[in-house]
Amino acid sequence: MLRTTQAWPFPIRLATTGAALATTFLFQLPLEREVPGDPFVLFLLVVIASTLAFGARVGFASVGLSTLLSVMFFEPFGTLALRHAADVIRIEVYAILATCSVVAFARLGDALISARHEADELKQLQNSKSILLRELAHGVANNFATVAAFISMKSTSIRDSAARSILEEAIEQVRVMGSVHRRLRGGDRIVTLDCRDYLEELCDELQASLARGRPISIECKADSLPLSSDQAVPLGLIVNELVTNAIKHAFPQGREGCIRVGLVAGENQLLLSVEDDGVGFRGGMKKRAAGMGQELVRGLVRQLEGHLEVKTAKTGTSFRVSIPFARPALSTQALPSSSALIH
């Protein structure tokens, strides 16, 4: 606001201030006859307001005009003549005080304008960084997709089923990391994503790619929380590994079942759970596959400085992971209250 009003043409600023002083004078003049007193308080308020709104030049002009008009309130009343030396001193004191006020409030106005200008530059810089971060995240996501497509194409020439299975798992893990970067946003101090949307998309992709045509459902219930990429990538890989392992081994011979993925925020920690109602750890192949998967999962949990708890029975298997969690710090959107004057 201050930048706008101070950019007005000087004659308009001066005329507006003169009109404000004239209105103040006409308002006080009838009251002076009934309740005699000094006119300086209202005049000083107009001087301060005109200085902030229109700059120092207009402020000094308002000091001169208000000093001249104040003479009309002393004997002989309504004229520019003065009879008492004390009245002259009072008017001079007002002129000095008003001049000092112009200097002080002109500097205050310049400081507010400068602060607003710096705030606008910082906001523009932050927006530019956010755009760059989003573009970088999308570029990385595209690179992951390219790598996954390349591995998938090469895997078609491999006849060994075990090797092909390993490549398929690698492809899924690359896709998980690509999904993270595709969802990253740069509006915060740290680049973050919403874990509920991220896990729901991951579970939908696993349902479509691995459980397609089988009577297996994947349910996902997660709190909406901001996750940094350092947390999102390991968590996504953990969920991908546990759900993939459950789809492949927990429901043999076309068995029907359900896999439930949950993520809730506790006190200073995240609680991730992956549960199934399958056959549990039965059979050597199942144990070996589970052991290899758990080794990867345990390594990712250690990376997150968390704790893994595993329970298995004939009625299913439960994996629970607890990790330390602190919400990523968000950028401050609110500016100081004084900045509202400077739009």
Q: Assess whether 112 and 178 both reside in one domain.
A: no
Q: Same domain, yes or no, for 102 and 177? A: no
pLDDT attached to residue 262: 95
The domain of 312 spans 158-324
Task: Answer positive or negative: Cα dihedral of 222, 225, 226, 227.
Answer: negative
Same domain as 112, residue 25: yes
Residues 79 and 164 in one domain: no
Domain identity same for 110 and 194: no
- Considering the domain architecture, whether residues 171 and 311 belong to the same structural domain is answered as yes
Q: Domain for residue 99, yes or no?
A: yes
Provide, rounded to the nearest whole percent, the portion of the chain with pLDDT above 90.
31
| Strand arrangement of the beta sheet that strand 269-276 belongs to | 216-222, 257-266, 269-276, 316-324, 307-313
pLDDT per residue as tens digits for the range 106-165: 999 888 888 888 888 888 777 776 666 666 666 666 676 677 777 777 677 777 877 877
Would you say residue 336 lies in a domain? no
Please name the amino acid found at residue 226: P
Query: Distance between CA atoms of 280 and 260, rounded to whole angstroms?
Result: 15
Please indicate, yes or no, if residue 144 is contained in any of the structural domains.
no
Same domain, 66 and 162: no
In a domain? residue 255: yes
- Please count the structural domains in the chain: 2
What confidence tens digit (pLDDT) does each residue in 201-252 have? 889 988 888 877 889 999 999 999 888 877 888 888 899 889 988 988 888 8
| Predicted confidence (pLDDT) at residue 327 exceeds the cutoff of 70 | no
The answer on 224 and 292 residing in a single domain is yes
Question: Per the domain annotation, does 75 fall within a domain?
Answer: yes
Q: Is the pLDDT of residue 328 over 70?
A: no
Pair (291, 166) in one structural domain? yes
CATH number at residue 291: 3.30.565.10
Tell whether 135 is covered by a domain: no
The angle formed by the CA atoms of residues 33, 34 and 39, to the nearest 5 degrees, is 65
273 burial type by CB count under 10 A (0-12 exposed, 13-18 middle, 19+ buried): middle
- Domain assignment of residue 342, yes or no: no
The residue among 72, 90, 120 that closes a domain is 120
| Same domain for 163 and 89 | no
Whether residue 334 is predicted with pLDDT greater than 50 in this model: the reply is: no
In a shared domain, residues 67 and 14: yes
Burial class (CB in 10 A: 0-12, 13-18, 19+), 253: exposed
Q: Do residues 163 and 114 both lie within one domain? A: no
| 3 state SS of 261 | strand
pLDDT exceeds cutoff 60 at 336: no
Tens digit of each residue's pLDDT (9 = 90 or more) over 5-42: 888 899 999 999 999 999 998 888 777 666 566 788 89
Once rounded to an integer, what is the mean pLDDT over residues 261-287?
A: 80
Instruction: Measure the CA–CA gap between 204 and 240, rounded to whole angstroms.
Output: 11
Of 40-49, 104-113, 187-196, 268-277, minimum mean pLDDT range: 187-196
pTM more than 0.85: no
Q: Identify whether 36 is part of a domain.
A: yes
Q: Are 2 and 341 in contact (CB under 8 A)?
A: yes
CA 294 to chain centre: 36
